Structure 1
Amino acid sequence: MIGRALLASVATALPLLAAPTAAQTASALGVRAAPADCDPPKGVTRVPGGEPWAQQRLDIKGAWRLTMGKGVTVAVVDSGVDYKHPQLRLAKFIDETSTGFRDCVGHGTAVTGIIGARYTQGVPFHGVAPEVRLVMVKQSNAQEGEVATLVKAIEDAVRAKPDVINVSVRASDTPQLKAAVENALAQDIVVVAAAGNVTNEDDEEEPAYPAAYPGVLAVGAATPDGRRADSSNAATPVDVLAPGTEIIAPWPGGTYQRGLEGTSFAAPYVTGTAALVRARFPKLSQEQVQQRIVATADGTAGRGTGAGMVNPLLAVTAVLPFEPAGSPVVAAPPPEPLAADAIAKVPPPDEAAVNVSMTVGAGALGAAAVAGALAWLIPLGRRRGWRSGRPD
């Protein structure tokens, strides 16, 4: 069985779907009807309280000056999605349940929106990377699912050739799940997964999969003050934190849900950041994208916090010294020191020339004095008839 995130302290966490074309009706797809209990909690028609704290804390719009994720494909493995939501634009639908697009939990719609909800004038909520191409892979209709279905969902997501895969699911470790994740990583796909949740005092903290697999970017949940949320599983080796409490996100019925909590809702903030990095630096490998996100996080704050809060703006702007030569973001090497003969030295003074100059200058001054004296004496002599002067 696989578990999920928290919604107002109720466990939830699932996979996603994508939008149908006009020709893709339920009958054409051969899907079964959604379960009779497909009734997610009601949302609200407007985003409450202005811009959500998570968007302000991460300064997402600051990163948009460089990229909004255009050209990047993100696959989301979750519970379905409300493809009619005005802020969601989906590109592809993969349904492992044969029950259609409906999101019977709400989880998939929220995760999808956090990653790539379109910016809409006058609406305070937006996704981290609103120009990404979204591929939805529906793997469950409920709060629990089967590991075998999750494995198939990840395999089908890989076949869609995404740049990033979001898995907001907590599952047990199986060879099949590990192989599916390793295959995704080998295909140069960034895999982001939720670290899992501790929903009550009786829960035993143990590593959650696929987040605990090597190479997966594992995400813990943070509170508005930056600390790890009590519900965030610290037994999983966390790489970074992201907002995971008091979350507002799109919800089925064209609405929004508030009070969402859990690592499942933290993971898509990191997935969106990975999409921004891949759009900004398309030559970076999935390992380098993960390194960049970890290296630019805001700083660890104890057990289960990894490198600290993800920082989208730094992730797309920082110059990192460990990135390889030829990287589009590597720092320029320091300038070479100037050669010893690059600048001509000032020659020593020529003593002979100085003496000649002084002699010539002195002669010139003497000649000028004589000329001045003659100019005064000659007219005076002429007036006196060239006689010497006598006293009166």
Structure 2
Amino acid sequence: MPVHWYGAVALALVFVPTPAPTRPVTCDPEPGIAEVTGTPWAQERLRFQRVWRLTKGEGVAVAVVDSGVDATHPQLAGVVTRQVDLTATDQRDCVGHGTAVAGIIAGRDLTSRGVPVMGVAPAARILAIKQTQGQSGDVSRLAEGIRRAADLGADVINVSVQAHDAPQLKAAVTYAQAKDAVIVAAAGNVKQEDGAVSPAYPAEYPGVVAVGSASPDGKKSDFSNGATRISVTAPGAGVTSAWTGGGYRTGLDGTSFAAPFVAGVAALVRARHPDLDHWQVKRRLERTAEGGGASGTGAGLVNPLQAVTSVLPATEEKAAGAAPVVLARAPVPDERMRGIALGIAGGAVGATGLVVFLALTLPRGRRRGWRAGNTAIFTGKLKS
């Protein structure tokens, strides 16, 4: 069963099985650029750095089931803790796609070196599961990659691939979810040649966080597949990230690059709320998103700060697999109402004081027959 990999590199390409190589594999990825100037719009929009005082994703393992990851990239050095090659080639990322995805999820903060690009959860660990070499692969290997990620203890699994529904793929998703992995998958892109759309898998499977693409104006990107049942959206147009070979790529388009932003936020949530199961993490991402309602946008744009800090009722936090819940959010301060409240509080204090005063003085007045007492009144002069 062929699958389609959606991103700037391999849009709507059909995957076919790749036999084990009998000679050295050519690995000649398209080069990136040496440096990036200016903060990428996705970072300015999501502002995930606001969460870092609480968590950067410490202790969370995120699997990238993709084309491999360049573990020597400066932003990923020490971040990639495990590499698995299912293609019988080697561990190198000969395309760049997997490296870009990993960079969005957990790229190190190198602003001290003048690098404005960074990942959502820079303290998370990356498990690189290479399931495609070049522009080829098959659904059985994709399923194997998801299973392998679950066996390695991945807390979050990012799948920036679209495939057709297949028994082995569905079984792999169910297997990973049984191990409590949060699966985040790209919703897929509209096929440019005919505009035909159909639900993308594994994004369409129950419990999977399906991610659509948002453009800089906040609206759904034209290429984002609205036929898939969308959970949330994330920046997926004009994205900047790390690229294999040590450089960077700008202008990356595709739900492939929207999904890792959400996978990074899921890592932050799992680090901050380790007791939540994968269903609860999914609901939290959805219920804290913003601007939903339009076709193909699901609950709206993922909101890292709300996803991490919003408070769920205790009963809902324990209800695994329960219906969606409404999160308690901090109210917006209203200065006029604040003034009224302070006035009321002040009046209440004054009234209480008056009651106490009368309670003390009236009985004494009755005992004296309402005659003046002997208490001296201070006039401002002291006798020598």
Where on the TM-score scale, by shorter chain, does this alignment land: which range? 0.7 to 0.9
What is the match of residue 45 of structure 1?
34
What is the match of residue 73 of structure 2?
85
| 2: CA distance, partners of 1:243 / 1:94 | 28
Which aligned pairs between 1:1-392 and structure 2 lie closer than 5 A? Answer: 1-7=2-8, 10-11=11-12, 35-36=25-26, 38-47=27-36, 49-88=37-76, 89-120=79-110, 121=112, 122-321=114-313, 324=316, 354-358=365-369, 361=372
Name the TM-score, length of structure 2 as normaliser: 0.80
Identity of aligned residues (%): 50
CA RMSD of aligned residues (A): 2.8
Q: Report how far residue 103 of structure 1 moved.
A: 1.3
Structure 2 residue identity aligned to 1:307: A
Q: Report how far residue 101 of structure 1 moved.
A: 1.6
CA deviation profile, 1:99-122 (whole Å, cap 9, x unmatched):
112212110110011001111122
Q: Report how far residue 351 of structure 1 moved.
A: 8.2
Structure 1 residue identity aligned to 2:51: A
Q: Report how far residue 69 of structure 1 moved.
A: 0.4
CA deviation profile, 1:137-195 (whole Å, cap 9, x unmatched):
00001334200111111111111011100011101111111011011111111000000
Q: Report how far residue 32 of structure 1 moved.
A: 7.1
Please give the secondary structure, in 1, of the residue aligned with 2:157. strand
Alpha carbons of 1:319 and 1:148: their partners in 2 closer, same or farther (altered >3 Å)? same
Alpha carbons of 1:360 and 1:117: their partners in 2 closer, same or farther (altered >3 Å)? closer
What is the match of residue 369 of structure 1?
none
Alpha carbons of 1:350 and 1:272: their partners in 2 closer, same or farther (altered >3 Å)? closer
| 1: CA distance, partners of 2:14 / 2:264 | 18
CA deviation profile, 1:47-97 (whole Å, cap 9, x unmatched):
1x3111001100011111111001101111000121211111310011101
Name the TM-score, length of structure 1 as normaliser: 0.79
| 1: CA distance, partners of 2:139 / 2:167 | 11
Does the 8 Å CA contact 1:69/1:279 hold for their aligned counterparts?
yes
Alpha carbons of 1:125 and 1:13: their partners in 2 closer, same or farther (altered >3 Å)? farther
Structure 2 residue identity aligned to 1:4: W
5+ residue gaps, structure 1, are 15-29, 332-342, 365-392
Structure 2 residue identity aligned to 1:73: A
Alpha carbons of 1:353 and 1:272: their partners in 2 closer, same or farther (altered >3 Å)? closer
Structure 2 residue identity aligned to 1:114: I
| 1: CA distance, partners of 2:185 / 2:13 | 15
Q: Report how far residue 356 of structure 1 moved.
A: 4.2
Please give the secondary structure, in 1, of the residue aligned with 2:80. coil
Please give the secondary structure, in 2, of the residue aligned with 1:91. strand
| 1: CA distance, partners of 2:14 / 2:240 | 15
Report the number of matched residues. 334
Alpha carbons of 1:350 and 1:256: their partners in 2 closer, same or farther (altered >3 Å)? closer
Alpha carbons of 1:323 and 1:353: their partners in 2 closer, same or farther (altered >3 Å)? closer
Does the 8 Å CA contact 2:131/2:141 hold for their aligned counterparts?
yes
Alpha carbons of 1:325 and 1:140: their partners in 2 closer, same or farther (altered >3 Å)? closer
Structure 2 residue identity aligned to 1:95: D
Q: Report how far residue 361 of structure 1 moved.
A: 3.8
Does the 8 Å CA contact 2:232/2:298 hold for their aligned counterparts?
yes
| 1: CA distance, partners of 2:14 / 2:123 | 24
Q: Report how far residue 34 of structure 1 moved.
A: 5.6
Does the 8 Å CA contact 1:234/1:303 hold for their aligned counterparts?
yes
| 2: CA distance, partners of 1:165 / 1:117 | 16
Alpha carbons of 1:323 and 1:304: their partners in 2 closer, same or farther (altered >3 Å)? farther
Q: Report how far residue 40 of structure 1 moved.
A: 2.3
Q: Report how far residue 201 of structure 1 moved.
A: 4.7
Higher mean C-alpha displacement, 348-357 vs 245-254: 348-357
CA deviation profile, 1:251-300 (whole Å, cap 9, x unmatched):
11101011100001000000000000000111111111111111110121
Larger CA Rg, structure 1 vs 2:
1
Structure 2 residue identity aligned to 1:6: G
CA deviation profile, 1:295-336 (whole Å, cap 9, x unmatched):
110121411100000011111111234763679xx97xxxxx
CA deviation profile, 1:237-259 (whole Å, cap 9, x unmatched):
00000000001111111010111
5+ residue gaps, structure 2, are 320-326, 329-351, 375-384
| 2: CA distance, partners of 1:352 / 1:98 | 97
Structure 2 residue identity aligned to 1:42: P
Please give the secondary structure, in 1, of the residue aligned with 2:213. strand
